[in-house]
Structure 1
Amino acid sequence: AASYLGYISEDEMKEGVGANEHALDGLRQGMFAPKNRGKKIENTEEGIPVSQSLLLHGYVADDEIERFPGVTHRVGIHPVIECTQNIPCNPCQGVCPKHCIKVGDHITALPQLEPDATCIGCGLCVASCPGQAIFLVNEKTEPGYAEVTFPYEFLPLPAKGQKGTALGRSGEPVCEAEVTGVKRTKAFDHTAIVTVKVPRDMAMKARFFKAADAVAEA
């Protein structure tokens, strides 16, 4: 219509159509692409063995998670991106004000951390991930303890200082935990982020929080 009405030239129209077709083709790629329907996918596009636990049980096993590029150990607070499947998704890349996360031009690539970028712990990546697969981890906050930040979409929200149980990826209890922060902002689009203190060796396992009174009721 814009070309027909004279707002853009025919060459500009063709360029725009080509760009849109390229973008749409990108959205049709990945392990769930039509061309892969009915196939058994054994490795990601990066050559990493896919999580069999995720396919069979609905969660990534502890002994599988560290092979994925978004799962790293660093000094200080940093994102841990537990994205394990090649799907067309990249809001984490665009939302980070410090450009810590890279998906790249290939929208189905597994996200990874930029080695020279510095996380400020804003939590935007945590709240923006549609799969709730991003966490902020500080592996050394005080002697023997770490902090883990995750998305929280239940009511009522826990309160700072509240104690309870940290849950792992499978939903099973893994350790005791204490809430050290609860954050809600307009930028999070109705998703709160909760930070808990856990034993340091649980930093890569604790992924949710259940209050002590909820544990007692269960």
Structure 2
Amino acid sequence: MFKFILPVGSGSSLCRDCVSERCRVLRLKKQLDEDYKEISNLVKRATSDGYWVSKPSLRSWRQLALEQLEEDEEESKHSNGQTNGQGPHINNKFGMEANVGTEDETKTFNEDIVCTHGALSILETERKLVSTEVWTKLREYFPRAPEFTHMQEPCRQCLTLEQEEKDNEAVSKMMALEQKNQLLNLFHEKNRPVLTKWPQVKRRAVDCEAFNFQFF
């Protein structure tokens, strides 16, 4: 338990709400450190089911959570507790409420494995499969993070576009190779068409008188 002790006879006093908030932040930071160590050990274990998590997000989740905690702490100092006219709220592990649809640090977690069509990215090297236990702990800090189970198929539209790009690239390479071979054959005088018999030009007698040639 965290305690704040003031010097005797100082005549100073602290706001009860401020002290409570400060104690809460210290407890959460301690819990964050413990969760970070536990998750770091759990992700080392291979799993065949669970959830897909972005590798960059998995490396930086502690920093993102800490920044969100500090941001929430700063906002709580200026908040009057009124939420009239605001949208629905979702609580994260910090106990803070965030408006759905607002821009904040929690929205960046795991979003880099979402393709432009809003589905799971086809880049398998950019994501890692983690256990349900790990994902549950991460969701406590990032409740609005995109969620993809191990059964989720990659975006079909992205797969189609990727295949079309590969096909076009293969055709381009084949055409370039064919043109290169043709140029080499011309240079080395190979594979040229061979005529077994030259075409005969029929000659016909020309009547000079018909042209009224005059000789001097």
TM-score range relative to shorter protein: under 0.3
Which structure has the larger Rg over C-alpha atoms? Answer: 2
Question: Of Structure 1 and Structure 2, which has the larger fraction of its residues in helix?
Answer: 2
Q: Choose between structure 1 and 2: higher strand proportion.
A: 1
What is the TM-score of this pair, normalised by structure 1?
A: 0.26
TM-score (norm 2): 0.27
Higher RCO (C-alpha 8 Å, min separation 6):
2
